[in-house]
Amino acid sequence: MITVRVPASSANLGPGFDCMGLALTIYNYFDVKEYDGLFIEGVDDAYKGEDNLFYKAFQKGIAYRLLKSGKQATAPYGIHIRIRIGVPMSRGLGSSANCIIGGLAAANELYPSIPYHMTEAELFYLGNEMEGHPDNIAPALFGGFTSSMILPNNQPVKMITPVSPKWYFAALVPDVEVPTKEARKALPDTLHRTEAALNVSHALFIQHGIKTADPAILKAAGVDYIHEPYRKKLIPDYETVKELAAKAGCEAFFISGSGSTCLALSLDPQFATRLQSTLVLANLTANWEVYSCEPDISGVTILR
Ligand code: HSE
């Protein structure tokens, strides 16, 4: 049995819609072994079938290895999966990209008799193809603060920006699910040119502010015009929690991916603890849990 560890990720970081993402030290663990058939444990029955995303990615990875090896599938390539969930699901912490990268990584490790093994670029390609955008896939695969673009041949490529160790991160997770599909439907299809230009400049300066731990830059660059104005209405308590976070020392506050989680950055190491106490006492609609975390710099990791 091997264990595949995959980090959570927070996509967008405000203006970096569908292209920027940060891997966080919150993990799902998948204990996997070769098996005659499919057996999944550790999740609700609804996730134990062949449409389980980890399993679908696993099968996609095996099919790709067979294709590149010039081999026909002579036997079913089954798997036994024990899932130990640490990443809240459907909350904007990249749980689908997490399962996809986990399944592809497992497909690359099990069944060593298939000669071909996927490269990182191929894992990135297949993951992006399944997810539809690379912003969570890149940090789940590579770790770190990633910016991605898609080449004309559909191959995604990434750039990693170092994160200043002066930043402290907290994922603020309400007990409310916001399905990504719904959160994407809430967005308008067109954007005014002025706002598009602002978003481009803000995304560039987010990278600078994260690298240099400059709160003034991050504050100015944190304004997004593509998704946050439309999505904040889907998150209960958004304005109140943002205000309370600012009072507790938050320097930047983003909707994590498509929500409902919000990502808060501070220069104060006590920030997350203080904010958790504040949120417990506040009169809020949802129950909010604060996950104090750091950037994960490893990405998907095989533990033996
Ligand atoms: N960039 C994506 C979005 C992340 O904001 O919809 C969620 O998959």
For residues 162 and 159, give the distance between their C-alpha atoms in angstroms, rounded to a whole number. Answer: 10
User: Between 3.10.310.30, 3.30.70.890, 3.30.70.2190, 3.30.1540.10, what CATH number should domain 168-293 receive?
Assistant: 3.30.70.890
Question: What residue ranges do the domains of the chain occupy?
Answer: 2-161+297-303, 168-293
Q: Which CATH architecture has domain 2-161+297-303?
A: 2-Layer Sandwich (3.30)
Q: Specify the ligand 1 atom closest to the Cα of 17.
A: 1
Instruction: Tell me the DSSP string of 259-272.
Output: SS-EEEEES-TTHH
> Ligand 1 centre from 24 Cα, in Å?
16
Residue 44 pLDDT greater than 80, yes or no: yes
Reading the block at residue 258, the tokens are 């498509």
Q: What does the pLDDT look like over 163-215, one tens digit per residue?
A: 999 999 999 999 999 888 889 999 999 999 999 999 999 999 999 999 999 99
**Sole residue written with tokens 């980090």:** 7
Provide the pLDDT for residue 3: 98
CA distances in angstroms from 270 to 20, 170, 205, 248, listed in the order given? 27, 11, 26, 9
Ligand 1 atom 1: residue of nearest CA? 18
**Mean pLDDT across the chain, nearest whole number?**
96
- To test the pocket of ligand 1, the residue of 180, 225, 254 to mutate (highest count of ligand atoms within 8 Å of its CB) is 180
Which residues, other chains included, contact 152 with Cβ-Cβ below 8 Å and sequence gap of 6+? none
Bridge partners of residue 22, in order along the sequence:
10, 145
Angle, helix 120-131 to helix 53-69, in steps of 10 degrees: 130
What confidence score (pLDDT) does residue 76 get?
Answer: 78
Q: How far is the CA of 104 from the centre of ligand 1 (A)?
A: 20
Per-residue pLDDT tens for 265-299?
Answer: 999 999 999 999 999 999 899 999 999 999 999 99
